[in-house]
Every structure is written in C-alpha cells, then in structure tokens.
Amino acid sequence: MRHIRVITPARLHFGLIDLNGALGRIDGGIGIAINDPTFELIAKPSQRIEIKSWQYEERVHAILERLQSKHHFPGLHVEFVSEIPAHSGFGSGTQLALALGQAVNTLYDLNLSVPELAFAVARGGTSGIGVAAFDQGGFVLDGGHSYPDRKSSFLPSSAVGNVPPPPILLRYPFPSWELLIVSPNCKHISGKAEVNPFQTLCPQPQSTAERLSHIILMKLLPSIYEGNLEAFGDAINRIQTFGWKKVEIDAQRGVLQQTLDFLRDSGALGAGVSSWGPAIFAVGENLPALHRKTEAFLDSLPNGGSCFVTQANNVGARVKLT
C-alpha cells in the first residue's frame, strides 16, 4: 500500500496591506515561509478516516470530511510526527489543511493544483501567504481580492466562505538570515476574538494602506533584493507602529509591545509580530547573544515563553510518496 510523507513549512505573516477597499481590492499580504515549526505527517489510503494527532484530531476530521464532500474518496489513515502550534502566528490552519489535501490529492490521483486544494479546504480567503508558503516557500507578496464582487466583507480566512486564494504578485527567495522566533505565553487569538476586530474596525483609513504600500515598495522589497539586513529590520519596525498591525499588537494587552521593545533595546535590528502573534520574529547582527538575552527576558515574564532560531524556507512543502 502506498504511503505519503508531507513536511510543511510554517509562515510568518508581516501584515495585511489594504483593509479599506477604495481601489476595488482588499487584503493583500506580505510574509515568508520558515523551516520551523513544521507539520510532518504520514498518510495512507483507508476505508475510513483514522487520525493520530496530539491536538488536531477534531480539526483533521472536519478538513477531510469537507474534502470528501467535494472529491469523493473512502478515507485516510494519517499519523502526525510533528505539529505546528495552533493559533500562534505560524499559519497552522492553512499548513494543516494543505498537508492533508496534498496527501489525499496524491494518494487518490485528484490532480489538483495547490490553489485548487486551498479553495477546496477553504483557505486563502484573506491572505495568500500561507498557500504560497506551502507551494513554493520564500518571500511572498499577494494582490488581495477584488472588492466587493469577489469578496464583499472584511473577514479573516477562517471566517470566509467560498473565496479563492489571491493572485501571487511576487515570490522571491528570502536571504539566508537567521531569524529569532520569540513566543511569550499569552492569548491565542482565534474565533470570535479574531472576527470581531475585522467587523468593528474595518474599513481602515485609506491613508493606512497608502503608507504601508510605500514602506513595502520603497523599503522592504529593496532590502530583500539587495540583502540589506539593516534596511529590512527598519522596514519591519516601521510596520509595527500603525494600522492593522497595531491592532494585532494591542490585542495582547501589552505583552507583545513589551517584547518588541526588549528585542530592539537588546540588539535586534528589527522585530515584528506575525499575524496576531504571539510569535514574534527578530533579526540582528549577533543573534546568538540576542537569543541568550531573550531566554532570560522570557523567564522574567509572569507567564514565561519560548524562543528558537530558524531560517526562511525557500522550497515549500516536501512531499514523498513511497
């Protein structure tokens, strides 16, 4: 019997670009794929759905049942070797859904592309970063959704219905910079806590999208193309100070801002929150020293936290059929 092994990247989401819609598009996103943490699963055909997972059994059932309703197959036996933490800023929902979708796609010869899989499992309805991270890795800029004809509401991907992933405008290999990932123990924002800000705080001012677009075009993108770590860090720092990213930071009642301030004061050239956090990414010229300082800082927090060093993933998910 054929087995398939799927190993996904995680993703860091730098920010949503346009939550105003004055130009007839909304969302848009920037971010990168990273090597850690990962989903690693081993799957094989089965006559029913069989799951061995530490934290995702109910969600895996829901994803596979959704796939069964669209692309008929009898079942899947799936075991998880490693799992991305849920609702932590790493894009676990998209990577989980696409890993399962790719397993079914390959084992049952569905011949679906990654964007088609994403639509089938209802991912990519807001940001396309996670879908592109799975597909190709690297740095990704997506072009958002046509508004209001293709997408008529400001909502996160988890709450959007039949909206396909956005077009990928740019995919580029991210430099081999080391990234310090820092996760203070705090809230994991999902469900109504994620949906409500979209419903109450959008549309955002048009000037917010204009300001962010300027930083992306004239600071962030050139820094990646030229391998300029200092300029990249400066661009990331600027993004944290306004608009939707500030909404995401403030939702954690101070702990994310406190951690960002510590990282910059301790040698980070740039530090930013991924999605709603709590994951924060930082870059610097002496990351080992920053890592040691950050471990001590997290130990001083009332609820602690964790940190590790990784790099960008420039290849996407790895799929091996045996």
Q: Give the pLDDT confidence of 60-114 residue by residue, as tens digits.
A: 999 999 999 999 999 999 999 999 999 999 999 999 999 999 999 999 999 999 9
Q: Convert the pLDDT of each residue in 241-271 to its tens digit.
A: 999 999 999 998 899 999 999 999 999 999 9
Tokens found for residue 106: 């390959």
Q: Tokens 């130009």, residue?
A: 23
Tokens found for residue 249: 């930071």
The Cα 239–Cα 245 span in angstroms is 7
Instruction: Please say if the pLDDT value at position 161 is more than 80.
Output: no
Instruction: Please say if the pLDDT value at position 187 is more than 90.
Output: no
Instruction: Please say if the pLDDT value at position 1 is more than 90.
Output: no
Q: 322: buried, middle or exposed (CB in 10 Å: 19+, 13-18, 0-12)?
A: exposed
DSSP track, 160-227? --S-PPPPEEEEEPPP---EEEEEES-----THHHHHHHHHH-SPPHHHHHHHHHHIIIIIHHHHHHT
* Nearest alpha carbon to residue 260 among 238, 237, 239: 237
Q: How many CB atoms lie within 10 A of CB 7?
A: 17
End-to-end Cα spacing for the chain? 9
The Cα 82–Cα 6 span in angstroms is 11
> Which pLDDT belongs to residue 27?
98
Q: What is the residue type of 242? A: F
Q: Residues of 275-296 as b/e, b for ≥16 C-beta within 10 angstroms?
A: bbbbbbbbbbeebeebbebbee
The Cα 37–Cα 306 span in angstroms is 13
Half-sphere exposure of 228 (CA within 13 A, CB side): 14
